[in-house]
């Protein structure tokens, strides 16, 4: 909510309506012995409606007053009203609380009673709720005192006292976000400066704190291994500061710019290593935490590494590792067991850690105290986020996202959650100089193509529907003669169909304001389903291929992440809300959803048997859904919890070759006798998350990455007070 609204004296008040007590300052609704939390936007809508009960509030006026004209479309208002109806138990088909006035807006149907003014000091004594509270037994109680990595004797202090410190810290950041009135605008100065332009990919740029040097990773011309490199941002020679043993990745500067930390992978060993930025003796600081995910960060005081670790079967979570000694430090926070937390970044003052929650392509940015505790959500994009970093003054983050179509750079402010485009695209993996006015970023120059192979025909691979564009999310028709896929070959990412029999390729969609994911075929090959995302909500769209007519089959109350055809009739979809990800069943278009299972990451229907299979985000394996069982046994343990298919009673998935790390294997596992065989192998750079098979499992379609010449650019910016 914008500061002007938050500063309204009504936010210090309590109102009573519909038998509930609404504490505006605490963002809570009390009633029937419980308390439910509302988002600031929902509170803002409720306040506007409560000013004049019974009077219709126009949609455009609500959007202007609550979102200050920055809402994009009316979907955010619809979601806020849905939230209010959920909390107050209102049925839109027979409303008693909020009535929808067609084509105009909304009106409050109940009287409102305002209580006396309430001071902020009283509100500050209320605990802050997590956006993803852990179960009672696992709720995070921060145990580190004010210094980030204290001596062991200080870790034994009273958990109660430290809990008060953490709550006070969270209240401070909430009040800062609510009451901040001014911010620095970022103004890009000049054209991008290309720091690298060598053949092959240069990745993970990291600027030294003063912005004068760049660390990055590129393949060594002789060995082919990934090497850590350093160069000045002005014309200078490239330095290799490390010994060059094994593959090196994820460089991080120390706060004084004297050292670099990085990840070294060698055979079965993975280590966190530091080296002088100008070269010299290396020092192994710690073994990589198990399942190290997407890099790490070095605390400003130099005492701890923040990492994301995966202790499967479970989801990735944040952890702190001591730089001296390498032991894992106490760090408890409200981790959501159904989501992966990745890519931690310390704030410039070291008091906060920003991180990404969720796996691609559905991610958002979150914030947690460096002492642990509750979690704050910064964005609600549910989109691909490929890299982010703090602004030097700690007022917000710069991040790369594709939520508006192409991957571009944006800024999100901590004060009001406002997201502003920086006008830089295509771009990913931004890194901001801690004490300078510059940021480096990757300029992606990649291309991916669609290939097909016949497993019974010596596995000959051929390109499908050649073009100069990039293809993704390919789905093979049941008879193997057609492919539906997402491609930018027409200038923007749209859904396309390739008919191999008739040698035709054409676009099925022409919607520049949407993103498309995971197309799925009906068993008769006459219709397809595709997940379409607009703004912050996903919907399931069905397309009739003969007429090319489209219809949205999911209810507007559902946020679709994935959809498929149910056995017989109806639809299966994965929906995400505050309760986590759920597998829902729809009997027909727009039918009320019925929950089948909780915490589901992927679902598949075997057309031959009609059986439903699913997996969870914790990597616990693939299960067969049985109506007569509340919980099913794991029928197959698959390393990748998303990229698998079931065809004709067998599970298919890609896996690494333990004997040859450069090779990937397509495995088939019989679900009846658990017999497993390798059906195809390749050394090509394929996207193992995006493949499909025909109904008889003879034909395979996959996505191969054919070019990666990603370069690194640099932009300078000015900061001016708004």
Q: Read out DSSP for 373-418? A: B-EEE-----B-EEEEEE-TTSSEEEEEE-TTSS-EEEEEETTT--
Mean pLDDT of the chain: 84
* pLDDT band with cut points at 50, 70 and 90 for residue 139: very low
The pLDDT score that the predictor gives to residue 13 is: 66
Alpha helix locations (H) across 155-261?
Answer: 159-179
* pLDDT band with cut points at 50, 70 and 90 for residue 141: very low
- Residue 346 CA to residue 305 CA, distance in Å, equals 9
Closest CA to 605 of 497, 461, 478: 478
- Residue 384 CA to residue 643 CA, distance in Å, equals 17
Burial class (CB in 10 A: 0-12, 13-18, 19+), 356: buried
366-395 burial, b if ≥16 CB within 10 A, otherwise e? bbbbbbbbbbbebbbbbbbbbbbbbbbeeb
The pLDDT score that the predictor gives to residue 640 is: 54
Whether 156 shows a pLDDT value over 60: the answer reads: no
The pLDDT score that the predictor gives to residue 140 is: 35
Residue with tokens 């007022």: 395
* Final residue belonging to a domain, choices 60, 95, 126: 126
Top pLDDT among 144 and 110 is at 110
- Residue 251 CA to residue 702 CA, distance in Å, equals 32
The pLDDT score that the predictor gives to residue 69 is: 57
Top pLDDT among 410 and 34 is at 410
Arithmetic mean of pLDDT, 514-534: 94
Top pLDDT among 208 and 9 is at 208
Query: For residue 208, is it within any domain?
Result: no
Query: For residue 298, is it within any domain?
Result: no
Q: Report the range of poorest mean pLDDT among 110-119, 264-273, 393-402, 491-500.
A: 110-119
Mind listing the pLDDT tens digit for each residue in 613-635?
998 877 778 899 987 766 687 88
Q: Is 12 helix (H, G, I), strand (E, B) or coil?
A: helix
The pLDDT score that the predictor gives to residue 210 is: 94
Query: For residue 196, is it within any domain?
Result: no
Query: For residue 63, is it within any domain?
Result: yes
Top pLDDT among 70 and 676 is at 676
Query: For residue 560, is it within any domain?
Result: yes
Top pLDDT among 553 and 161 is at 553
Stated length of the chain: 722
Arithmetic mean of pLDDT, 683-698: 89
Sign of CA dihedral 638, 639, 645, 651: negative
Whether 147 shows a pLDDT value over 90: the answer reads: no
Q: Is 138 helix (H, G, I), strand (E, B) or coil?
A: helix
Arithmetic mean of pLDDT, 570-594: 91
The C-alpha R_g of the chain, in whole angstroms, comes to 26
Domain that holds residue 117: 3-126
Q: Which of 142-156, 413-427, 474-488 has the highest mean pLDDT?
A: 474-488
Query: For residue 203, is it within any domain?
Result: no
Q: Are 18 and 110 in contact (CB under 8 A)?
A: yes
CA atoms within 13 A on the CB side of 529: 23
The pLDDT score that the predictor gives to residue 292 is: 61
Tell me which DSSP letter residue 613 carries.
Answer: E
Top pLDDT among 179 and 341 is at 341
Whether 122 shows a pLDDT value over 50: the answer reads: no
* Final residue belonging to a domain, choices 101, 126, 151: 126
CA atoms within 13 A on the CB side of 384: 15
Q: Report the range of poorest mean pLDDT among 101-115, 459-473, 479-493, 529-543.
A: 101-115
The pLDDT score that the predictor gives to residue 425 is: 92
The pLDDT score that the predictor gives to residue 67 is: 75
Q: Is-cis flag, bond preceding 361, omega within 30? A: yes
Whether 677 shows a pLDDT value over 50: the answer reads: yes
* pLDDT band with cut points at 50, 70 and 90 for residue 648: confident
Mind listing the pLDDT tens digit for each residue in 320-358?
999 999 999 999 999 988 889 999 999 999 999 999 999
Whether 517 shows a pLDDT value over 70: the answer reads: yes
Provide, for the chain, the percentages of residues in helix, strand and coil under a 3-state DSSP scheme, each rounded to the nearest 5: 10, 45, 45
Whether 163 shows a pLDDT value over 70: the answer reads: no
Tokens coding 365: 């940015």
Closest CA to 711 of 438, 445, 422, 388: 445
Whether 81 shows a pLDDT value over 50: the answer reads: yes
Q: Report the range of poorest mean pLDDT among 11-15, 258-262, 316-320, 498-502.
A: 11-15
Q: Report the range of poorest mean pLDDT among 143-147, 155-159, 324-328.
A: 143-147
Residue with tokens 């931004």: 430
Whether 9 shows a pLDDT value over 80: the answer reads: no
Tokens coding 314: 């479970």
Q: Is-cis flag, bond preceding 313, omega within 30? A: yes
Mind listing the pLDDT tens digit for each residue in 215-233?
999 999 888 899 999 999 9
Tell me which DSSP letter residue 156 carries.
Answer: G
Specify the DSSP element, H or E, that contains 665. strand 660-670
Closest CA to 690 of 654, 664, 656, 663: 654
Alpha helix locations (H) across 413-569?
Answer: none
Arithmetic mean of pLDDT, 500-517: 92
Contacts of 364 (CB under 8 A, 6+ apart): 356, 357, 358, 377, 378, 379, 380, 381, 382, 385
The pLDDT score that the predictor gives to residue 474 is: 96
Query: For residue 174, is it within any domain?
Result: no
Whether 578 shows a pLDDT value over 80: the answer reads: no
Q: Which CATH number is 661's domain given?
A: 2.120.10.30
Whole-prediction pTM value?
0.71
* Final residue belonging to a domain, choices 111, 126, 141: 126
- Looking at the chain, the whole-number percentage of residues with pLDDT higher than 70 is 85
Domain count, the chain: 2
Q: Are 422 and 438 in contact (CB under 8 A)?
A: no
- Residue 283 CA to residue 272 CA, distance in Å, equals 9
Contacts of 403 (CB under 8 A, 6+ apart): 381, 382, 383, 384, 515
Q: Are 98 and 49 in contact (CB under 8 A)?
A: yes
Q: Are 49 and 106 in contact (CB under 8 A)?
A: yes
577, 578, 582, 585 alpha-carbon torsion, rounded to 10°: -50
* pLDDT band with cut points at 50, 70 and 90 for residue 505: very high
Arithmetic mean of pLDDT, 242-249: 87
Query: For residue 86, is it within any domain?
Result: yes
Q: Are 522 and 565 in contact (CB under 8 A)?
A: yes
Q: Is 564 helix (H, G, I), strand (E, B) or coil?
A: strand
Q: Which CATH number is 115's domain given?
A: 1.10.10.10
Alpha helix locations (H) across 155-283?
Answer: 159-179
């Amino acid at each position: 909510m914008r500061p002007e609204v938050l500063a309204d004296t009504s936010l210090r008040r309590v109102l009573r309506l519909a038998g509930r007590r609404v504490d505006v300052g605490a963002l809570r609704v009390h009633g029937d012995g419980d308390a439910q939390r509302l988002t600031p936007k929902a509170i803002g809508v409720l306040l506007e409606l409560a000013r004049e009960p019974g009077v219709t509030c126009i949609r455009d006026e609500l959007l202007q007053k609550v979102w200050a004209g920055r809402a994009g479309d009316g979907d955010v208002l619809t979601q806020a009203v849905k939230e209010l109806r959920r909390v107050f138990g209102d049925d839109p088909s027979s409303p008693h609380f909020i009535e929808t006035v067609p084509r105009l807006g909304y009106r409050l149907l109940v009287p409102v009673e305002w209580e006396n003014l309430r001071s902020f000091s009283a509100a500050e004594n209320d605990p802050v709720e997590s956006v993803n509270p852990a179960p009672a037994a696992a709720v995070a109680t921060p145990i580190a005192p004010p210094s980030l990595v204290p001596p062991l004797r200080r870790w034994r202090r009273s958990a109660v006292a430290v809990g008060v410190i953490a709550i006070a810290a969270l209240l401070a950041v909430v009040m800062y976000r609510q009451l901040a009135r001014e911010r620095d605008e970022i103004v890009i100065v000049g054209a991008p400066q290309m720091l690298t332009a060598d053949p092959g990919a240069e990745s993970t740029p990291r600027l030294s704190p003063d912005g004068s040097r760049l660390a990055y990773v590129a393949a060594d011309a002789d060995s082919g291994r990934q090497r850590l490199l350093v160069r000045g941002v002005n014309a200078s020679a490239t330095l290799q500061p490390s010994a060059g043993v094994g593959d090196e990745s994820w460089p991080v500067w120390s706060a004084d710019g004297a050292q670099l930390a990085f990840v070294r992978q060698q055979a079965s060993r993975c280590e966190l290593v530091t080296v002088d930025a100008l070269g010299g003796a290396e020092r192994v600081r710690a073994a990589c935490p198990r399942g190290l995910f997407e890099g790490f960060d070095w605390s400003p005081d130099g005492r701890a590494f923040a990492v994301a670790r995966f202790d499967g079967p479970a989801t990735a979570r944040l952890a702190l590792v001591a730089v001296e000694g390498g032991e894992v430090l106490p760090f408890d926070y409200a981790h959501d067991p159904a989501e992966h937390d990745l890519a931690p970044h310390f704030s410039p003052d070291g008091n906060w850690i920003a991180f990404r929650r969720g796996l691609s392509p559905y991610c958002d940015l979150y914030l947690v105290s460096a002492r642990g505790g509750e979690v704050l959500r910064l964005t609600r994009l549910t989109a691909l986020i490929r890299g982010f970093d703090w602004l030097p003054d700690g007022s917000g983050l710069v991040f790369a996202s594709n939520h508006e179509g192409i991957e571009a750079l944006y800024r999100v402010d901590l004060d009001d959650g406002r997201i502003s485009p920086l006008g830089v695209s295509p771009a990913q993996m931004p890194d901001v100089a801690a004490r300078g006015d510059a940021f480096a970023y990757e300029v992606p120059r990649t291309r991916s193509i669609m290939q097909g192979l016949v497993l019974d025909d010596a596995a000959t691979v051929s390109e499908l529907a050649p073009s100069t564009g990039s293809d993704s999310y390919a789905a093979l028709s049941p008879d193997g003669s057609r492919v539906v896929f997402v491609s930018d070959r027409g200038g923007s990412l749209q859904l396309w169909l390739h008919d191999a029999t008739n040698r035709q390729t054409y676009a099925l969609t022409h919607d520049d304001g949407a993103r498309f994911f995971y197309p799925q075929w009906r068993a008769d090959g006459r219709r397809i389903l595709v997940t379409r995302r607009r703004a912050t909500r996903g919907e399931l769209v069905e397309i009739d291929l003969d007429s090319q007519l489209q219809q949205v089959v999911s209810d507007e109350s559902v946020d679709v992440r994935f959809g498929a055809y149910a056995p017989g009739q109806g639809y299966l979809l994965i929906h995400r809300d505050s309760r986590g990800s759920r597998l829902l069943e729809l009997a027909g278009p727009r039918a009320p959803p019925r929950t089948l299972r909780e915490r589901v990451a992927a679902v598949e229907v075997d057309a031959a048997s009609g059986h439903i299979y699913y997996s969870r985000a914790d990597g616990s394996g693939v299960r067969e859904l049985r109506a007569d069982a509340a919980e099913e046994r794991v029928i197959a343990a698959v390393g990748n919890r998303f990229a698998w298919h079931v065809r004709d009673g067998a599970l298919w998935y890609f896996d690494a070759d333990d004997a040859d790390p450069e090779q990937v294997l397509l495995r088939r596992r019989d679900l009846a006798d658990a017999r497993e065989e390798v059906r195809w192998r390749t050394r090509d750079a394929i996207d193992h998350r995006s493949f499909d098979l025909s109904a008889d499992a003879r034909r395979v379609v996959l996505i191969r990455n054919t070019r990666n010449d990603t370069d690194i650019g640099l932009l300078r910016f000015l900061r001016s007070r708004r």
